[in-house]
Structure 1
Amino acid sequence: MLNAEDLVAVDVHTHAEISKSGHRSLSPALFGASTEYFKAEGHRQPSIAEMADYYRQRNMAAVVFTVDAEHATGHPRIANEEIAESCAEHSDVLIPFASIDPWKGQAGVREARRLVTEHGVRGFKFHPSIQACWPNDPMAYPLYGAIEELGVPALFHTGQTGIGAGVPGGGGIRLKYANPMLIDDVAVDFPELRIILAHPSVPWQDEALAVATHKPHVHIDLSGWSPKYFPPQLVRYANSLLQDKVLFGSDYPVITPDRWMADFDELEIKPHVRPKILKDNAVKLLGL
């Protein structure tokens, strides 16, 4: 089992990109666009076992998930059960999250309950832009209610996305769904739901900071960007008002923890805040 005291860091944002059968989490067109956007040419899609070895070698733990956007994209997801079972085989370093398309309605609610109670899932990932769903759409509320009741976090993609970038029409992906201010409604309507706003939320960074400052259970992860490109106001808040609510995330495998950490070392983060971001805040939030 995972021993948080021995870890250097907890990466709260990594992607399972390929199943045991070779099925990809994204269509070839969207995967290629993401690779180009992150300048990650040549990056391979590691298996979950390979992800475990990677993080074990670095004495880190990682949250692992895929994205279920079957309704909008028509592309079948990687099974949540497979991710949970694979993470369970490497429970010293991997923490399974699931993803359920909000368009699945009550079937999604039943699945969420089953995944937590029977498969050990520790949280849920939403990507409003790819799922083509407003985060505050009442359609999703029964699912959020179940997640709140189960006592696990919900992680929402916010801001720009590399998925679909450069593809004609952005691959049909609309950025408007990813404004973090929309998640403020979710935080109001589900006051005990622990929420993570993923990524520097460009072009809505100030909105994300406002929501995280105002709502006690809203956090921000720092994935998807090299720290050298973080908006200056995000760095200021991470050093002060939000020092207990900001989390290390890489977006592995398109951004590796090695690259992220090297740039984070150069960031002007106060010495007592650095361990909070890298590990302590995640340990508390995830109950490790």
Structure 2
Amino acid sequence: MDVDGLVAVDVHTHAEVSADGRTSMGAELFGASEKYFKQHPRPTIPEIAAYYRERRMAAVVFTVDAEHATGHPRISNEEVAESCAEHADVLIPFGSVDPWKGRAGVREARRLVEEYGVRGFKFHPSIQGFAPDDRMAYPLYEAIEELGVTALFHTGQTGIGAGVRGGGGIRLKYSNPMLVDDVAVDFPDLRIILAHPSFPWQDEALAVATHKPHVYIDLSGWSPKYFPPQLVRYANTLLKDKVLFGSDYPVITPDRWLADFDALDIKPEVRPRILKDNAVRLLGLRTEERTTRS
């Protein structure tokens, strides 16, 4: 990856469809998401690569493994990793392991990093149906910390299940960023990203990120014109080295996100940190070599 040639690193994009056409969620939840975010294309991973390559950006790509809670089979982590490896000039693979899988999930996480070059893991507590501070998930966190990769947690409200009867069974309380504070205490060397402006818990997210050295915030899922003022203020000051560009592509395009970000009152010296430099440092894009499966 030519890091110097990149204009930005998007740390939050979704693989919503597999090579054989299977989707990452069932029809009911997908329908609710499209109603909430408005209908959008579902690009394959090669199409994601082409999109970002055209814009001279890199992107972190992941799916969500929530088989325990939803019963819907996930998109294969191996497929995500292998497809990203074919487009390693612009794509960075993250995995997703349902923490309810216990020891099998821990073994999978180790294999994905050691054999497939995965750089981190995505958790969506509300969809996966677990509280981040549940000790059930601790063996998985321990492995991720030991492997030296990143844990990215969805925080705040989600459009998934919005408007569906009972919210599709999705409990918003699990995505309070304060639940990740225990994780940051008990795994002090684990690199953590709190994904999204964390409505209605924005202040909690800011508190955790300012207090815990290895907790970052990504700005995905919202147009910047809707960012809470305290988030903008902290991004400009105390958290200028810990805030990351993320779009939530394909539900929000980086084109739209960046256009709105241009109008935001962000200091000129802080903009490149948010758009690229902080992610390059966090993910080790200059110093680490991608491990490929032999």
Q: TM-score, normalised by structure 2?
A: 0.96
Deviation at 1:262, TM superposition (A): 0.5
Runs of 4+ in 1 over 2 A off after TM superposition: none
**Superposition pairs of residues 25-174 of structure 1, within 5 angstroms:** 25-39=24-38, 41=39, 43-174=40-171
2: CA distance between counterparts of 1:256 and 1:171? Answer: 26
In structure 2, distance between residues paired with 1:198 and 1:249 = 8
Separation in structure 2 between the aligned mates of residue 26 and residue 230 of structure 1, nearest angstrom: 28
What amino acid sits opposite 1:185 in the alignment? D
- How many residue pairs get matched? 285
- Structure 1 residue 154: deviation in Å? 0.2
Gaps of 5+ in 2: 286-294
Match of 2:218 in 1: 221
1:48-70 Cα deviation digits (max 9, x unpaired): 00000000000000000000000
Partner of 1:14: 13
- Aligned counterparts of 2:271 and 2:103: Cα–Cα separation in 1: 41
Q: Distance in 2 between matches of 1:46 and 1:142?
A: 33
| Structure 2 residue 228 is the aligned partner of structure 1 residue 231 | yes
**Partner in structure 1 of residue 176 of structure 2:** 179
Q: Which amino acid aligns with 2:107?
A: R
Write out per-residue CA displacement over residues 268-288 of structure 1, whole angstroms, 9 at most, x where no aligned residue.
000000000000000000000
Pairwise CA distance, 1:32: 1.1
Q: Which residue of 2 aligns with 1:211?
A: 208
Provide the aligned C-alpha RMSD in A.
Answer: 0.4
Other structure's SS at 2:246 match:
coil
Shift of 1:122: 0.5
Q: Distance in 2 between matches of 1:67 and 1:232?
A: 30
Alpha-carbon separation, structure 2, partners of 1:144 and 1:108 = 11
- Paired with 1:109 and 1:8, the residues of 2 have a C-alpha distance of 35
One-letter amino acid of the structure 1 residue matched with residue 126 of structure 2: S
Cα deviation for residue 44 of structure 1 reads: 1.6
Q: Give 1:152 shift.
A: 0.3
State TM-score, norm by structure 1: 0.98
- Per-residue CA deviations over 1:103-156 (Å, capped at 9, x if unaligned) read 000000000000000001000000000000000100000000000000000000
Out of 255, 269, 274, the residue aligned to residue 252 of structure 2 is 255
SS at match of 1:269: coil
What secondary structure is seen at the aligned counterpart in 2 of 1:154?
strand
User: Which one-letter code corresponds to 1:28 in the other structure?
Assistant: A
SS where residue 87 of structure 1 aligns? helix
User: Could you say which residue in structure 2 is the equivalent of 1:266?
Assistant: 263
SS of equivalent to 1:64: strand
**Structure 1 counterpart of 2:35, which letter?**
E
Aligned match of 2:242: 245
Residue identity opposite 1:15 in structure 2 = H
Write the distance in 2 (CA, Å) between the matches of 1:36 and 1:8: 31
Q: Which residue of the partner structure matches residue 4 of structure 1?
A: 3
The amino acid across from 1:269 in the alignment is I
User: Within 2, Cα distance between the matches of 1:270 and 1:258?
Assistant: 20
What amino acid sits opposite 1:112 in the alignment?
A
Q: Are residues 1:281 and 2:293 paired? A: no
1:8-64 CA distances to partner (integer Å, 9 max, x unpaired)? 00000000000011110011111111111112x2x2210000000000000000000
SS in 1 for 2:161: coil
The offset of 1:250, in angstroms, is 0.2
Among the aligned pairs, what percent are the same residue? 81
Partner Cα separation in structure 1 for residue 259 and residue 32 of structure 2 = 25
Distance across 1 between alignment mates of 2:2 and 2:74: 31
| Equivalent-residue separation in structure 2 for 1:167 and 1:225 (angstroms) | 21
